Copies of this chain bind each other. A is one copy, B any other.
Amino acid sequence: MCEGVDSKHTPKLGISGKEILYDEDGKPCRSCNSLLDFKFATGRMAPLPISQDPQVVPVAEKIPGSKTYEKVDPPDVEVLGRSSWTLLHTIAARYPKKPSETQKDEMQKFMTIFSHVYPCWWCAKDFEKFITQNSPKVNSRDELGRWLCDAHNEVNKKLGKERFDCNFWEKRWKEGWDS
């Protein structure tokens, strides 16, 4: 059977086998799905035979009028997640060992607002729930770093990933391994 792009194409599962997440307007959510699943849900990609590598994409064109910027796709849920953890853990790594009251107050607010504005809505809900049950610990760098590491491990658990040993948080995000 050969069909064109169906405007009512709203699959429940993506190519990865994971559930497709939709926005309130019924469109597939780009920040909530992997790029592959997003393209599949928007009817731009048919399921591929296993032997075909979906990572092999043609070289991106330049955007109109630009010499250097290519037509790069907006980040999917995985790129967004990696980027955000990188920023958050590094913020903890640079947080003062003895923060002032203003710094504590700002960090508390920053984490709370982060849980409201994070672009993947279902990830944001989980983070907000975590924050409600585990208020950000902002009394010292180590406290904040370990609190974030625990938050990350909650997500790791949900994704079936290994738990990260939080005793290593500072080596991973501040000191490096050879110092």
**Which A residues fall within an 8 A CB radius of B?**
30-31, 42, 44, 61, 63-69, 71-75, 79-80, 82-84, 86-87, 90-91, 93-95, 103, 106-107, 109-110, 113-114, 116-119, 121, 161-162, 164-165, 168, 171-179
Contact = CB atoms under 8 A, between A and B. Distances in A.
Copies per complex? 2
A31 B110 CA distance: 20
A74 B175 contact: yes
B63 A165 contact: yes
Given A63-B168, A67-B162, A79-B86, 13 more contacts: A30-B176, A31-B93, A65-B165, A69-B162, A74-B90, A74-B173, A80-B90, A83-B84, A93-B119, A94-B119, A106-B113, A106-B116, A110-B117
A106 B95 contact: no
B69 A164 contact: yes
5 contacts: A72-B172, A73-B177, A74-B90, A84-B87, A109-B113
Nearest to A60: B177
Contacts of A117: 91, 94-95, 106-107, 110
Contacts of A174: 30, 74
A109 B107 CA distance: 11
Nearest to A92: B119
A106 B110 CA distance: 9
